[in-house]
Structure 1
C-alpha cells in the first residue's frame, strides 16, 4: 500500500521497443522534406532509475512518446540539414540514422536511458518531384545497361567473325603450304630421277611428230635405245 496521494511509476529495465505511428519529417540540405517511420529499441539503466524520474517526472511510456521522440526528431533534422537528397537516396539513409543514434546515446545514456538502436520502418515518403527524379534515374540506368549489353553482344559477334576469318585464313595457308610442299617434293624427285620425266612424256605423247620445226630444234626428244 502506497498511501493517499501517491502515484507509482514503473520503469522496466529490460529492452523496450517502440515504433512511432506518426512519421518523422526532416528537411535535407536542398530543401526536400522526407518522411519516415522510425522504430527505437532502448532500456532503462537499473542503477539510474531515480535519475530518469528526477529528470522527466513521468513514466517510461510518456518519456518514449514525447521526450525520446523529440530527441530523435531533433537529431534527424540537425543531421539531415547537412545531407543532400541524392546522398540520402544513394546510401546515406544508414549514415544518417547511425549518426542520429550516436547523438541520442551521448545525450541520454548519462541520464539513464540506453538507446540501443534506431531503425527505418516501411518506405520513405518522398515528394512527387523526388519520386519522378528517382524513376527517371532508374529508366536512365536501365537504358545504359541495355546499351552496354548491346555493345558486348556486338563485340562478341565481331570476335566470332574474326575467329571464323582467322580459321579460314589458316585453312587456306595450310592448303597452300601443302600444295607448295607437294610441288617442291615433286621437283626434287624429278631432279633426282630424270627418267621419270621422260616416262611421263612418253605416256602423254600421241606418237605424232611436229609438222614444222625451226632450225636448231631437238627432234625427237625421246631417246630410243
Structure 2
C-alpha cells in the first residue's frame, strides 16, 4: 500500500479529538460530583460537627459559624452554644402536641405528675464528644437521653419523700438534687445543663390535695392560737412585773420614811409652791419646815 501522508495527520487529529473528549468528560464528572455536593451553613449561636457517614468518622474540631461544603457521604450536625430551654408539659399547645409531663411516685407509691423545664447549652470544645456519645442531633438528645436522665433523677429522689414533703417543704430540694445529678452526668460529654425547674404545680390526686390543704389550715389555726396564748401570757407577765415593781417601790419608800422621817418634810418642800397660808395660828411653826 502506498504511503499516504494525510493518514498520519488524520491519526493525530483523531487523537486530539479524543483528548478533548476526555477533558470534557473529566470536567463533566467533576461538575457532577460538585453538583451532588451540598452546602451547609453553621448558624449563629451554633457549633458544627462534620461527620463522614460512609467511613463513620467524626472530625474532632468544631466548625464555627459560616458556610461549608458537605461532600457526598458527609453531614454537618449543629449544636447550640447559647442557652436554650425546653419544657415537658401536659399541654398540647406548647412545644409538643402530646402529653410530655413527668410521672413519679412518693415513698408510699402515690402517683404524682409535674411539668418540668430545662435550660442548657453545648460546650463548643466538647461538641464532637457529645455527638460520638449519642450519634444524633440536639432535638433527639433532648427527647431521649436528657429527658430520661432528668426523669430518673426525679423518680429516685421522690421515692425517698412523702407527698406532703414533695408538695411542700422538699419541693425545691427535690428539683435541686435532680439538677446536680443530671449536671454531673452530662458535663463530661459537653452538654451543660444550666437549670432544671418545675414549670408548674405538682399535680396530686384531688382527695390527697384536700387533705393536705386541710392539714395546712389546721396548722395555721394552731399557730395562730398559740400566738394568741403567747401574747396573752406576755401581757399578763408584763402586768405582774409592773405590779411587782410598783409594790417594791412603795415598800422601799415606806422603809425609807420609817428610818428617816425627814423625808416627809423634804417631799413637802419639793411640792410647796412657795406661798404661805393666808391664816397662820399664833406662834406655831412655819408649815412643812418643822422650824422650832
TM-score by length of 1: 0.66
* CA–CA separation in structure 2 for the residues paired with 1:3 and 1:184: 119
Q: Report deviation, 1:111.
A: 2.4
Q: 2:122 aligns with which of 44, 56, 59?
A: 44
Q: How does 1:75-224 map to 2 (within 5 A)?
A: 75-159=153-237, 161-162=239-240, 165-166=243-244, 169=247
The answer for unaligned runs of 5 or more in structure 2 is: 1-68, 90-99, 264-292
* CA–CA separation in structure 2 for the residues paired with 1:2 and 1:107: 32
Residue 193 of structure 2 aligns to a residue in which SS? strand
Counterpart for residue 284 of structure 2 = none
Is residue 2:101 matched to residue 1:23?
yes
Greater per-residue helix proportion: 1
Is residue 2:134 matched to residue 1:56?
yes
Residue 122 of structure 1 aligns to a residue in which SS? coil
Is residue 2:70 matched to residue 1:2?
yes
Residue 123 of structure 1 aligns to a residue in which SS? coil
Is residue 2:13 matched to residue 1:13?
no
* CA–CA separation in structure 2 for the residues paired with 1:53 and 1:178: 96
Q: Report deviation, 1:72.
A: 0.9
Quick check: 2:114–2:198 contact (8 Å CA) kept in 1?
yes
What is the root-mean-square deviation in Å for CA atoms of aligned residues?
3.2
* CA–CA separation in structure 2 for the residues paired with 1:34 and 1:16: 27
Higher relative contact order (CA 8 A, sep 6+): 1
* Structure 1, 122-131 or 83-92: larger mean CA deviation: 83-92
